């Protein structure tokens, strides 16, 4: 499963490639909802933890989560894909490229600043890669009080590390490395 830093790199790449671009269509696997025909202008691509957000100028946002097996590929139109079409969760089509997300765990359309998007983002804690200064609290004592208030006194450290409300983007790889380094 990609960790938060991998999703950040992906978001930076997709933002650089798609921001302000008019795309021909965004196609979703039927399990995830409806496709959107173009022209669609991309406002930007961001992420919070392991969630990727592709925002459109019309106020819609496509949220995706790669889960354990998801990956993004880029192809020229007509170029053969390295994975079967049936595994394509998302396709972003431009005149020169096809950006294809295979095997996503989740994908859904949200309204920018709509209830579902605000609720979903509120369930995610600060993204440690891009947390604004002071959030999470800068000093260790304030940080501990904040975590205890959120998770409780008796929560195991392994559960704290994976709780996305506390820190979005940490997964099993980083959890295991932190526990190893701290001899836990």
Q: Hey, which residues are catalytic here?
A: 2-3, 50
Separation between Cα atoms, residue 141 and residue 160, nearest integer Å:
16
The conformation of residue 94, written as its DSSP 8-state character, comes to -
Residue pointed to by tokens 């020229």: 76
Triad 34, 15, 48: Cα angle to 5°? 75
Q: For residues 154, 159, 160 and 164, what is the CA-based torsion angle, rounded to 10 degrees?
A: -140
Q: Are 16 and 90 in contact (CB under 8 A)?
A: no
Separation between Cα atoms, residue 51 and residue 146, nearest integer Å:
23
The conformation of residue 167, written as its DSSP 8-state character, comes to S
- Say which residues have a Cβ less than 8 Å from residue 112's Cβ, sequence separation at least 6: 55, 59, 60, 61
């Amino acid at each position: 499963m990609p960790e938060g830093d991998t999703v950040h790199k992906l978001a930076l790449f997709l933002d650089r490639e798609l921001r302000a671009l008019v795309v021909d269509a965004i196609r979703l696997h039927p399990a995830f909802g409806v496709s959107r025909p173009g022209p669609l202008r991309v406002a930007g691509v961001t992420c919070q933890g392991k969630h990727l957000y592709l925002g459109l100028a019309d106020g819609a946002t496509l949220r995706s989560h790669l889960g354990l097996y998801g990956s993004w590929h880029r192809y020229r139109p007509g170029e053969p894909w390295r994975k079967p079409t049936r595994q394509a969760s998302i396709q972003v089509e431009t005149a020169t490229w096809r950006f294809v997300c295979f095997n996503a765990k989740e994908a859904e359309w949200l309204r920018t600043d709509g209830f579902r998007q605000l609720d979903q983002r509120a369930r995610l804690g600060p993204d440690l890669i891009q947390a604004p200064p002071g959030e999470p609290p800068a000093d260790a004592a304030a940080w501990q009080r904040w975590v205890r208030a959120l998770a409780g006194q008796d929560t195991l450290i392994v559960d704290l590390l994976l709780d996305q409300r506390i820190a979005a983007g940490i997964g099993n790889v980083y959890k295991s490395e932190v526990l190893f380094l701290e001899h836990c």
